[in-house]
């Protein structure tokens, strides 16, 4: 999408492939090719009923001939169409050509991709990179809240609008079409698809695990290095070198470019941690990258929002609320048993202590295991739960003695 669209009042359709042009619905007038992606060919078109320019992506024959990919396309396209965010390319609708090939009608963005900008300009200014990453993170956060993952975040899938300078993420939901297709670069296993280039793939995907929201965050961190330095976080010129360097920590960003501020370097370093549980979520990144650090008030407000968001992401309020309700109901039942003389009063006092410590234990467990995905048991969690258990034993002992 590198050239401005032709004037709708004067342009005529250049000769295109008759098979594609004739197979589309009559309301779409193909004008010229815009490019080719991993899932198909993209054309500039005029949508005749609304007289507007749109981008039409026609799925490749390989994908169109696979029944599983066609079904996934329908599901993913429907989900992507529900995403309404200023930093995402709007998906207007999808359909099938007369010969059964799926296609998408998307918002046309007159501009270039981030990959094109990098090739033409080299590394971008830090302030510009912060703005771009913040907008992409905001788009990812909106997608993650809607329950789907991009799975192919890289400069080629981020568009820069020529007039406004806005950045828009494209191909939401389409990366999953490659699952089960091909081999080598396109996938590793049935469940853990590896899409796009190796350099943007998270460690857990390379282990054969499915892509989650954290995989998008990892790819965003890789892209941040590319925008700032012109290269990725690992010093490699070939796939073989990449596999070797990938086993080590990413390069120190502040050593690669002196202009980057410590906060941005720390954020990108956290995005690239091997444990997906330790990566920040996209919403946290968007707020940190977009937030002005002009005053302590803005910083403290942002920190408060981050903490609240972290609690909600770990489902801690919900877990504690359920524990409180269940404990309250159990205490009420035991109180009735005490009133009827079925159990002694000391049972109620011990139950009250057990209830209090169970609330604390549920909060600890939720903090370490409340996020989606597999969660490992950490040493800190074991220590905290051991302290809670010890305090509970001491409390129960004191109740029995008194």
CATH at 142: 1.10.510.10
d(CA 185, CA 195): 7
For residue 377, report the phi and psi dihedrals to the nearest 5 degrees. -80, 125
In a domain, 10, yes or no: no
Distances (CA, A) of 32 to 12, 40, 42, 194: 10, 15, 9, 31
pTM, two decimal places: 0.66
Q: 288 and 187 in one domain? A: yes
In a domain, 11, yes or no: no
d(CA 287, CA 268): 14
d(CA 245, CA 398): 57
Of 81, 107, 133, at which residue does a domain stop? Answer: 107
Q: 90 and 22 in one domain? A: yes
For residue 33, report the phi and psi dihedrals to the nearest 5 degrees. -70, 145
Query: Token pair of 81, please?
Result: 């169409």
d(CA 70, CA 93): 15
CB 265 within 8 A of CB 193: no
Number of domains in the chain: 3
Distances (CA, A) of 96 to 41, 59, 276: 14, 10, 38
Q: 359 and 329 in one domain? A: yes
In a domain, 8, yes or no: no
Of 90, 107, 124, at which residue does a domain stop? Answer: 107
Which residues make beta-bridge pairs with 167? 160
- The share of the chain scoring above pLDDT 90, in percent, equals 28
Q: 226 and 150 in one domain? A: yes
Of 312, 334, 357, at which residue does a domain stop? Answer: 312
CA angle 359, 303, 139 (to 5 degrees): 100
CA angle 7, 11, 17 (to 5 degrees): 125
Query: Token pair of 302, please?
Result: 């942002």
CATH number, domain with residue 68: 3.30.200.20
Q: 184 and 148 in one domain? A: yes
Q: 147 and 86 in one domain? A: no
In a domain, 5, yes or no: no
Burial of 175 (0-12, 13-18, 19+ CB in 10 A): buried
Q: 323 and 199 in one domain? A: no
For this structure, is 152 an active site residue?
A: yes
For residue 46, report the phi and psi dihedrals to the nearest 5 degrees. -105, 130
- What range does the domain containing 67 cover? 18-107
Mean pLDDT value across residues 229-246: 72
In a domain, 12, yes or no: no
Q: 219 and 342 in one domain? A: no
pLDDT at position 375: 56
Q: 47 and 116 in one domain? A: no
Q: Does 239 have pLDDT greater than 70?
A: no
135, 152, 171, 216: which is the annotated catalytic residue?
152
Q: Among 52, 59, 49, 54, which residue's Cα sits nearest to residue 23?
A: 59
Q: Does 334 have pLDDT greater than 70?
A: yes
**Angle of helix 282-290 versus helix 296-313 axis, rounded to 10:** 180
Q: 209 and 272 in one domain? A: yes
In a domain, 74, yes or no: yes
Q: 296 and 321 in one domain? A: no
Mean pLDDT value across residues 295-314: 54
In a domain, 356, yes or no: yes
pLDDT tens for each residue of 82-115: 788 999 988 888 888 777 788 888 889 988 999 9
In a domain, 7, yes or no: no
Q: Does 270 have pLDDT greater than 50?
A: yes
Q: 289 and 142 in one domain? A: yes
């Amino acid at each position: 999408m590198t050239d401005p669209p032709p004037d709708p009042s004067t342009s005529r359709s250049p000769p295109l492939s008759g098979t594609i042009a004739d197979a589309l619905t009559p309301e779409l007038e193909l004008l010229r090719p815009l490019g080719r992606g991993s899932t198909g060919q993209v054309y500039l078109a005029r949508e005749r009923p609304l007289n507007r320019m749109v981008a039409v992506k026609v799925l490749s024959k390989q994908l169109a001939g696979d029944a599983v990919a066609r079904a996934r396309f329908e599901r993913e396209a429907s989900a992507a169409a529900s995403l309404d965010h200023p930093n995402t390319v709007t998906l207007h609708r999808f359909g099938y050509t007369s010969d059964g090939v799926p296609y998408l009608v998307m918002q046309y963005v007159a501009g270039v991709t981030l990959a094109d900008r990098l090739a033409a300009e080299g590394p971008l200014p830090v302030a510009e990179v912060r703005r771009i990453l913040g907008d992409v993170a905001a788009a990812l956060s909106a997608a993650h809240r809607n329950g789907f993952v991009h799975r192919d975040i890289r400069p080629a899938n981020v568009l820069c609008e020529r007039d406004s300078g806005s950045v828009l993420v494209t191909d939401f939901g389409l990366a999953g079409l490659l699952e089960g297709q091909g081999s080598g670069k396109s996938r590793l296993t049935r469940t853990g698809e590896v899409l796009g280039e190796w350099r943007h793939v998270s460690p857990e995907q390379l282990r054969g695990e499915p892509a989650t929201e954290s995989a998008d965050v990892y790819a965003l961190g890789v892209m941040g290095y590319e925008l700032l330095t012109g290269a990725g976080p690992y010093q490699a010129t070939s796939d073989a070198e990449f596999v070797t360097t990938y086993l080590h920590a990413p390069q120190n960003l502040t050593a690669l470019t002196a202009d980057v501020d410590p906060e941005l370097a720390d954020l990108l370093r956290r995005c690239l941690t091997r444990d997906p549980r330790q990566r920040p979520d996209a919403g946290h990144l968007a707020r940190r990258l977009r937030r002005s650090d002009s005053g302590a008030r803005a910083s403290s407000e942002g920190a408060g929002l981050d903490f609240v968001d972290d609690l909600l992401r770990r489902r801690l309020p919900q877990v504690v609320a359920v524990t409180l309700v269940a404990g309250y109901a159990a205490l009420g039942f035991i109180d009735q048993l005490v009133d009827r003389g079925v159990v002694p009063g000391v049972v109620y006092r011990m139950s009250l202590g057990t209830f209090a410590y169970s609330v604390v234990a549920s909060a600890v467990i939720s903090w370490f295991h409340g996020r989606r995905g597999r969660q490992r048991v950490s040493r800190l969690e074991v220590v905290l739960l051991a302290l809670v258990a010890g305090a509970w034993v001491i409390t129960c002992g004191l109740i029995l003695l008194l």
